[in-house]
Amino acid sequence: MTQPATAQRSAGKPSTAEDTLAAKSRDPNVVSGGHLVARALKNEGVDTIFTLCGGHIIDIYDGCVDEGIRIIDVRHEQVAAHAADGYARQTGKLGCVVTTAGPGCTNAVTGIATAFRSESPVLHIGGQGALTQHMMGSLQDLPHVDLMRPITKFSAGVRSTERVADMIAMAARECFAGAPGPAYLEIPRDVLDREIELRQAVIPKPGHYRASTKSLGDPRDIETLADMVIAAERPVILIGSQVWTCRGHEAAIAFVRGLEIPAYFNGAARGLLPPGDPHHFDRTRREGFDRADLIIIVGTPFDFRMGYGKRLGRDAKIVQIDMDYRTVGKNRDIDLGLVGDPGAIFAALSAAASGRISSGARATHRAWMVELRQAEEAATEKLMPLFRSTQSPIHPYRVAWEINEFLADDTIYIGDGGDVVTISAQAVRPRRPGQWMDPGALGSLGVGTGFALAAKLAHPGKEVLCYYGDGSFGMTAFDMETANRFGAPYIAVIGNNSAMNQIRYGQLAKYGAQRGNVGNLLGDVPFGSFAKMLGGHGEEVHDAAEIAPALQRAREAVQRDGRCAVVNIWVDPREYAPGTKAQTMYK
């Protein structure tokens, strides 16, 4: 039997070059640029980097080995960048992706742009040709710093080995300044390879160059908002991704429960309250916004997902809380804006309001929740025929329902796709905080594989399920092999309609059947065989009644074999999400 390549590398006798490197002794008072990178990353709490190898960056790997930083090498830099983003979302720490120059950087652009729109703290370290070869046309030379500047909070180059660690600390600070986001740092090869005396290096001391970010804004505004909540008869709150990003969810939950406020959730905030919680609402957002007299929007912008603020009730008072001053009041007027850490603001609001809210005000809020709950139940009942559909081909709503029924208390759910994933939001209810992941406002397809890899590495004891469209699966699926290689297996479920169906609907509606299928139809691929090729479990599902048993078999296979499993479910290409039919993403 032929050994895997990894086994061959470790089992054979080391080569002459390996012998030479192993025998090389290092002066503890001398350090290279790559080793300074690793030391600085360790100071920032980075325990894992995601990367694809390249000659410009190999000294960073050598440093990471010495510092005990895990190196996860993938097959495509887009996956590395998505994984670094996913790792940041799951751990709350700085994510890190390391790429070589030229195409290594450009391949990662989509992942960094996704992190930028999703406000995820990711440090992207990129290689570059030597300073001595500047503007000479060195291998893979590109103006990376200029390229990355529009999609990062900070983009710069390191021009001396002495400043490597200092510049990494500078970039990391920018990642957490205000609303989080990515930073890019280019380090030329000779800067990385050069060795200097340790005393020459500028290495900021961990914990001695950070300021508190738990700001609550103007205390007078806290008092004003507390009065507004108490006076409101029909308050609602929309809790967005920033609340999870800053780990302010416990304070948010205490505020919602303490003041009896119906809460809606989007993005990474899904799962902050479990299904069935009396304060958890999701099917009545339009009615809640239309009838509310006070709407509090926390940690989410007035972008296309919010109709640029136009979907809020005209007669309601609008309050916006955000970590970024530039977001508050953008695209629509508001009555009150607070800039700061959502968790700190929630805690201050609870303290300000709980001591003076009357039993009558609480009763009024509870009565309002009863009205919304009745509407929620009616909306759910209306959807049940779709959730229980036995049609063939399988209705995508049935798949979403079965996935939700399948989720365990510790399952991290990831959505990666267009219409099938949009539909899944109608049914999938994560059981705990941090267990919902989606592309965010950039709408990137292909995030799922990197997210799943990162989620499993961050939480080995949790189950990870990624629901793909067949189009998105085809973009990054080969890095399932990476997940297998690093012992991070997950369940991949594919809603396969052999099309880029979310876009297809708009084309059909605009151009008719003759031209509506141009550029959006895909082949009928039995993706279950892909998992088998990688040594895992895979199967095809054509009958709705077989979805639940197939998911269970996939779970058992992942637990038994330690490899990814694929459940390829063939769904009806004639079914679309309501938002797709209304084309709300463009309005």
Helices (H), 328-445: 342-354, 359-387, 396-406, 419-424
CA dist list (Å): 458 to 51, 351, 479 = 16, 34, 17
- For position 16, what pLDDT does the model report? 53
CA dist., res. 195 & res. 163, Å (int): 12
Strands laid side by side in the 491-496 sheet: 436-437, 411-416, 463-469, 491-496, 565-570, 537-541
H or E element that contains 505: helix 501-511
CB 300 within 8 A of CB 404: no
Q: Give CA angle at 192 (146, 169), nearest 5°.
A: 65
* Residue 179: strand, helix, or coil: coil
Q: Residue 108, Cα to own-chain centre: how many angstroms?
A: 15
Q: Which residues on neighbouring strands pair with residue 436, listed in sequence order? A: 413
CA dist., res. 527 & res. 80, Å (int): 23
% of the chain with per-residue pLDDT over 70:
96
- Residues composing the chain: 587
Whether the per-residue pLDDT at 12 is higher than 50: the answer is no
Whether the per-residue pLDDT at 550 is higher than 50: the answer is yes
Q: What is the pLDDT of residues 283-327, one digit of tens each?
A: 999 999 999 999 999 999 999 889 999 989 889 999 999 999 999
> What's the one-letter identity of residue 501?
N
Q: Which of 408-446 are b and which e, b meaning 16 or more Cβ less than 10 Å from the residue's Cβ?
A: eeebbbbbbbbbbbbbbbbbbbbbebbbbbbbbbeebbb
Whether the per-residue pLDDT at 211 is higher than 90: the answer is no
pTM of the model: 0.94
The average pLDDT across 541-567 equals 98
SS (H, E, C) 90-153: HHCCCEEEEECCCHHHHHCHHHHHHHHHHCCCEEEEEEECCHHHCCCCCCCCCCHHHHHHHHCC
CB 188 within 8 A of CB 131: yes
* Residue 187: strand, helix, or coil: strand
Compute the half-sphere exposure of residue 291: CA atoms within 13 Å on the CB side of its CA: 13
CB 275 within 8 A of CB 431: yes
Q: Residue 283, Cα to own-chain centre: how many angstroms?
A: 23
> What's the one-letter identity of residue 114?
T
Q: Which domains does the chain have, with CATH numbers?
A: 29-200 (3.40.50.970), 219-376 (3.40.50.1220), 388-586 (3.40.50.970)
Token representation of residue 537: 């479990």
Q: How confident is residue 4, by pLDDT bands cut at 50, 70 and 90?
A: very low
Q: How confident is residue 338, by pLDDT bands cut at 50, 70 and 90?
A: very high
CB 522 within 8 A of CB 496: no
- For position 17, what pLDDT does the model report? 52
Token representation of residue 493: 């479920």
Residue with tokens 């032929």, as numbered in its chain = 2
